Structure 1
């Protein structure tokens, strides 16, 4: 199967533009499992032994292809209608934790692809919970006026983002079956366990969860037809005292990217305005077709929830997909890949690379091909076993600029104590202390639930080896690497 560039009733998943259609008779979507994109060398789910062979041998090429295969599948047209829009991308058919929590429990063995959907769904955009987890305090647009070091040009840039979370049909069914978004159920699982290390039942290998991350273009954010947002410059070479104290959030990114909302198709632009002083030009101004995007129309506006407080979406607004965390349970510690929009997808900045970009399959086309990938299937290299390993070797950095770059040193805590990563031979100790040095697997390894204080958990972690039997887990319930359970259990 090949991803066909198309714009389906305003859902831009490719490069062509068509007029919006009426949605009065659009039916409710059924969550769609990952389709086969027809990529040579990729399959889902991949055998655990095959993936671990690649990981243990540091074979980047097949790992990168696997990550791109997941992205291609997630962004393919689903053939399903959702949120007042027909033929949405596959990932948009998946239910959120809140939606799953409202569904009745299902019995073991129930068909995982045909579980019920809620009677009414809302495209609910929320501020990332991780921006206020523990000691985290990440500045975004509302704080920009007082906290940000804006470029000298004083261009009004939108640094706000919103997220949703999605569980594929297999993960959804497992969460329903085990009532994983219920505090009482999690407490019962913990109390039924024995020993110091207790965990929820492990998700099946087909499970995938996502965290789509969006910007919203509203009329108030436009200068004529131009929307301006900060441009990710790449991972800073050094962790300065300012980054230690503040992180490297969007308001601190020095450049600009411009979007002309009158251009509904794609462009040939591939640059940024490095200091926001040049202004919009054909090389740094993009069209809506350069993004996976969703226009708000009179026919679908009722499917979009309020953003924050009394701020609501209006007809003519546009939702842009900027990034997405994706994890699959194909290995015991899950696979970790994260995607972010980039001006030049063939030569993206760190934490991606041109080598990762070269692994993109020909089936990845249209707007979905305008995104970069950061990937990490291990905490350190050489890889360590899930239990009983050591924090030795070299770091594996994998983070998303839109979600973790703003984490400062106070975001991360202990226990467990960060031992650093000891390099063999030189015995040099590497210490990751901020978000731009973090690793998805390490951080999600600490996803836990306290049976005595449901709002408590272990802290976020940066990048080092963490054993699944670390003493820090005593008194907590391990959540199989999913922070979304801890953040949504009620």
Structure 2
């Protein structure tokens, strides 16, 4: 235990430094007609407040996962959702920010400076969801074209502090988990014969409550964002199960048959149930040719979490759209439009293998057969539009240690693409358990020198032994890649996926000689 606490000190100290209030330096005198400089930071990362069972008791939570006490797991997961969606006390563009919106994103957390004590705006760097392209990148194939779900990552203060810190490794060397060069160096530094269980980064932080001192646990999130236009009625895909899709085997949001027309001008509250759209309302629908809507419901915008885009948000959205072939909704943004939260992956380091829960917008009735999850068991702590999200959990690979039945828990907005093997039978823990980085390799056109990783699991028919040196079900037939060739990243795909590529890059090819 002492070794674990020592390992957490760099992150804990950095977190304390980030949250410590220090007086600003005295400003130089200015002419009377000079306007004061704007504040350097206006969004300060804050953690989940007391009253929501966070960070939780590790021994208690682990016992629930081991015995698959699903009622207790469900209650804890809903309370975590309630805490991270509670009001942070901060505002942006006139709107209250929930706690998770104050957290730093990829750009801040993986910069050389790390996540600082504040940001000039909420971190919303729109990009195509990384898991959709993972397998294609490893195989050198073209990215799948069946979806362009827009997402990003956010990291709570303790996780951002942990990622920004230097961590001890083999030979007493300090390593940075946000640097690809440092990752490659760490993977090469393990002494021959190092046990697979020990080939890993320092665990992410967890500290329980201690008297009046509130504890903390590393948290990662992956929000999924759709666009709603400021005028007209924008169709929003509504999950109704794989059979309510034009391609049930890969039921991406673009293929769902039911859509909800969201109305920004409707003043109804978040508890307003969607109703069947009228012919006149359907005529007002914003054209979205990429969607497969065949039946329409109607609801006010208040039934989903939304934020109004400014010009910077709109430019960011359009840039991402252009870079990914204008897929997905195919809608271009303008200042005044709305970003809406379609779903979100959430994981917390309360237990050693993390708690896993994923949420998606599901107003009105739950999906048929409550697959892969539902709104059942939601606690009264969840308020407003946040009550319109369904959830499933994967705190264990199987339904308890005594069971061989695999847990199925995926996000319909994120894991339905053909780019993710067996996504619709997947679970979060098995997928993230193979998160790794390895040696550098040159690949791609133009060639890029980057750290390698393991593949996603090819199937989810049996649990993976994360401490075994045997090739696992995560490796394709004929591959000899095993855990011992890599360094495990404590279930975080964010580390290998977002590290700064500071490796030496191949020299550019010389220009072709001009024909004579």
Q: TM-score, normalised by structure 2?
A: 0.68
Report what 1:253 is aligned to: 256
Alignment map for 1:192-203 (pairs within 5 Å): 192-194=189-191, 195=194, 197=196, 198-203=199-204
CA distance, structure 2, for counterparts of residue 358 and residue 278 of structure 1 = 31
Say yes or no: does 1:445 pair with 2:449. Answer: no
Report what 2:492 is aligned to: 482
What CA RMSD, in Å, does the superposition of the two structures yield over aligned residues?
A: 3.4
Offset of residue 309 of structure 1:
3.2
CA distance, structure 1, for counterparts of residue 48 and residue 57 of structure 2 = 16
Report what 1:460 is aligned to: 456
- CA gap 1:313/1:230 in 2 versus in 1, 3 angstroms: closer
3-state SS of the aligned residue for 2:320?
A: coil
Report what 1:150 is aligned to: none
CA distance, structure 1, for counterparts of residue 432 and residue 310 of structure 2 = 37
1:35 to 26, 49, 70: 49
Say yes or no: does 1:393 pair with 2:394. Answer: no
CA distance, structure 2, for counterparts of residue 277 and residue 140 of structure 1 = 31
Report what 2:305 is aligned to: 292
CA distance, structure 1, for counterparts of residue 399 and residue 233 of structure 2 = 44
Alignment map for 1:235-254 (pairs within 5 Å): 235-236=242-243, 243-244=248-249, 247-254=250-257
- CA gap 1:162/1:53 in 2 versus in 1, 3 angstroms: same
| Paired residues of 1:183 and 1:489 also in contact (CA < 8 A) | yes
CA distance, structure 2, for counterparts of residue 316 and residue 278 of structure 1 = 22
Offset of residue 139 of structure 1:
4.1
Report what 2:16 is aligned to: none
3-state SS of the aligned residue for 1:314?
A: coil
3-state SS of the aligned residue for 2:371?
A: coil
1:214 to 196, 219, 225: 225
Unaligned runs of 5+ in 1: 1-23, 106-113, 142-159, 385-391, 413-433
User: Which structure has the greater CA radius of gyration?
Assistant: 2
- CA gap 1:267/1:283 in 2 versus in 1, 3 angstroms: farther
| Paired residues of 2:242 and 2:251 also in contact (CA < 8 A) | no
3-state SS of the aligned residue for 1:64?
A: helix
CA distance, structure 2, for counterparts of residue 381 and residue 298 of structure 1 = 47
- CA gap 1:345/1:70 in 2 versus in 1, 3 angstroms: farther
3-state SS of the aligned residue for 2:83?
A: helix
- CA gap 1:348/1:261 in 2 versus in 1, 3 angstroms: farther
Say yes or no: does 1:62 pair with 2:72. Answer: yes
CA distance, structure 1, for counterparts of residue 283 and residue 379 of structure 2 = 32
3-state SS of the aligned residue for 2:335?
A: coil
Offset of residue 373 of structure 1:
0.5
| Paired residues of 1:323 and 1:402 also in contact (CA < 8 A) | yes
CA distance, structure 1, for counterparts of residue 108 and residue 310 of structure 2 = 24
Alignment map for 1:37-436 (pairs within 5 Å): 38-39=51-52, 43-82=53-92, 84=93, 87-104=96-113, 115-117=116-118, 123-135=124-136, 137-140=143-146, 160-178=148-166, 179-194=176-191, 195=194, 197=196, 198-205=199-206, 206-218=217-229, 225-236=232-243, 243-244=248-249, 247-266=250-269, 270-271=273-274, 279=282, 284-297=297-310, 306-309=319-322, 313-344=333-364, 350-353=370-373, 357-383=375-401, 393-407=404-418, 411-412=420-421, 434-436=422-424
CA distance, structure 2, for counterparts of residue 304 and residue 27 of structure 1 = 23
- CA gap 1:474/1:297 in 2 versus in 1, 3 angstroms: closer
> In the comparison of the two structures, how many residue pairs are matched?
395
Offset of residue 117 of structure 1:
3.8
3-state SS of the aligned residue for 1:458?
A: coil
| Paired residues of 1:342 and 1:348 also in contact (CA < 8 A) | no
3-state SS of the aligned residue for 1:213?
A: strand
Offset of residue 260 of structure 1:
1.5
